[in-house]
Chains A and B, each alone.
Chain A
Amino acid sequence: MAKNVLQHTITALVENKPGVLARVSGLFARRGFNIESLAVSITDDPTVSRMTIVVGGDATVLEQITKQLNKLIDVIKVIDYTDMAVVERELAMIKVNAEPKNRAEIMQLVDIFRAKIIDISDRTFTIEVTGNVAKVDAIESLLDSHGIQEMVRTGRIAMMRGPRTP
């Protein structure tokens, strides 16, 4: 991602129906908005899904995105988390080269980041790490020197701090 483009986290509560994801992602593609990450799952209400979308762009772009999302009939509510007190998390699984001579060092790293080793082979560790984006980025770059074989990140999810607001 280009460094000078602002990132925004927005949350869309949508009807849990087939095709809604296509409507949302199509809207982004059509208007030239770039999705950095997208996480979708159902909520405490099974008829509602929650999409957490990270997008790049300035304030005007973000305003258009929010308004256009709101126009989709299946979108119930859109909240822009930029400048709000939120907790954000992302989960990553990283498969990294783990030669016997490096294992101790990697395990130490895992400890420091409060990550977990969830699978081991004779050559690799698979590490699970949860945290905000900066933390996941940090462990990723540290592990990179050992050689990352494979990585998957869930994309960001976010929630407001404090009690639920209506």
Chain B
Amino acid sequence: MKITGAQALIKSLCDHGTKMIFGIPGGVMLPIYDALYDCTDLEHMLMRHEQGAAHAADAYARASGKVGVCFATSGPGATNLVTGIANAYMDSIPIIAVTAQVRTTALGKDAFQEADITGITLPITKHNYLVKDARDIPQVVAEAFHIASTGRPGPVLIDVPADISFSQVEYQPVNKVELRSYKPTVAGHPLQIKKAAKAIVAAERPVLYAGGGVISSGASKELVDLSERTHILVATTLLGKGSIPETHPHALGMLGMHGTAYANYAVAHCDLLIAVGARFDDRVTGKLDAFARKAKVVHIDVDPAEIGKTVHVDIPIVGDCKHVLSELLKCVEPREETEWNRQVTQWKAEYPLHYPNDGGLYPQFVIEQIWEATNGEAIIATDVGQHQMWSAQFYKCTFPRQFISSGGLGTMGYGLPAAIGAQVARMDKTVFLIAGDGSLQMTIQEFAPAVAHKLPIKVAIMNNQYLGMVRQWQELFFNRRYSGVDLTAQPDFVKLADAYGAAGIRIEKPEEVRPAIEKALEINDRPTVLDFRIAREENVYPMIPAGQSIEEMMVQRPK
């Protein structure tokens, strides 16, 4: 029996386990949405901006470990996805974006709503396709899932011209994909792994540095096992949060620009740095020649191009983190706690994270309260800015895929659609979005689908009426010349929540914090907005200024 190309597309998505699609239709997308209408295995969430669709798919993938899928029409629909695709690319998140395209005969002729989206997304996708024959659809979709989810994961875009969607094809499912030109290395080289094991035994001051690759390869257990077997302490990146429970005595929290002082001291003084699924981002390393200056570096990563890209690596191991760590566990000798562990523990006691206690409403306190009220078990989505860093510092994650945040691209507006995607993926969990008042306004329209789908997400706005992170830099490095950062002209977020059909509570005093959170936790049929009016000029500390070294670390506001 023949079906349309559009039906073949939907069928192929279902064949690969897609349950949820985030998207917005349009002219050339009509045949695909028509096919969707008949499909009972798929749920569709109508977003209000395609950027929201891409972010929701991205967060769905982060929270579930499955591939997220989003749809957009040609031209403006497709270009609206671009930020979301770039975001997924920078953080190596597996999503598939399906865009409709003008008819093949009109391609390249500036037809109505034509945009060369495969050209535009070339540098921000792991791979992309322009389908030229409807018979290729099952193969293309199968390849897209394979490419998006294996090796170093990433976004794949499939552009489907309207005539391809309309044409009739015989449907042949494709489940197995073999690509001669794409064979990611899974197993690490045994000799390299042995070398790493030896280096661990020989090291006096080793530190593990765990990134998003540990989460995406599902290597948390192996990481914790390794840390426990060898007593090596673990610093995590923003994307690596939750790879080791942050309540674990071996966890040092986040390292880097706004990392804990003790994580940064540990890395600065270590003699062996074992990087696992991390890429030495400049927000982590600061000044490169001062970073882990005394350390021999072991780098475990599935992407060979990451090895030696920014720092010199002594023992490279290309392979899947989970695979490599489990092999390493087989050959590494146990180590006991040493003087070094005591030293780092002392730094931990000496330089704890802190915030003022003067009766003001401080964001760090709010986040601690959210942590307590949710027993550290909530999935946390964030926007981008100061509130994101406070969340990373103060919400101690206890399991992988718990912390959902835009790292590499730092996309303001990621938060609300991300909370939606995460909630859809994990209906069993409480999802808390820690939002910035600036960021939230970039994708605030997505309250509509959240309300429509009765999603009980909690949106905690750290409302400082500033583009706070930018203001912090202006305060510290531009002589308090606050240029273009004032957000006092803003909507009443409580009324706005009400207007969307969500619940809204304003919080102005510390004693109102916990009751408001408890109230939000009771509401389970719609989103709740918590408008926390925090101390406006609170800063994020510690801070190592961009491109500088640990010697320049500020642990509090300079006097």
Contacts and interface: CB of A to CB of B under 8 A. Distances in A.
A132 interface: no
Nearest to A14: B181
A18 to B, nearest CB: 8
B127 A60 contact: no
Contact-residue size bin, chain B (C-beta under 8 Å from the other chain): 10 to 19
Interface string A52-74: 00000000100110011011011
B181 A75 contact: yes
A129 B180 CA distance: 38
Given A19-B118, A73-B181, A64 B305 contact: yes
B179 interface: yes
B182 interface: yes
A26 B127 contact: no
Nearest to B307: A67
Contact of A60 (B119, B123, B305, B308): B308
Contacts of B122: 22-23, 26
User: Among the interface residues B118, B123, B181, B304, which one has the most CB atoms of the partner chain A within 10 A?
Assistant: B181
A158 interface: no
A68 B307 CA distance: 11
B431 to A, nearest CB: 34
A63 B310 CA distance: 12
A101 interface: no
B176 interface: no
B263 interface: no
Interface residues of A, number: 19
B152 to A, nearest CB: 8
B304 A76 contact: no
B125 to A, nearest CB: 10
B39 to A, nearest CB: 29
B147 A68 contact: no
User: Among the interface residues A14, A27, A71, A74, which one has the most CB atoms of the partner chain B within 10 A?
Assistant: A71
A30 interface: yes
Contacts of B320: none
Given A19-B118, A30-B123, A63 B308 contact: yes
B126 A64 contact: no
Contacts of B307: 67
Interface of A: 14-15, 19, 22-23, 26-27, 30, 60, 63-64, 67-68, 70-71, 73-76
21 contacts: A19-B130, A23-B122, A26-B123, A63-B308, A64-B305, A64-B309, A67-B304, A67-B305, A67-B307, A70-B304, A70-B305, A71-B303, A71-B305, A73-B127, A73-B147, A73-B179, A73-B182, A74-B181, A75-B181, A76-B180, A76-B181
Given A30-B123, A63-B308, 20 more contacts: A15-B181, A19-B130, A22-B119, A22-B122, A26-B122, A26-B123, A27-B123, A60-B308, A64-B305, A67-B307, A68-B305, A70-B305, A71-B305, A73-B126, A73-B147, A73-B181, A73-B182, A74-B181, A75-B181, A76-B180
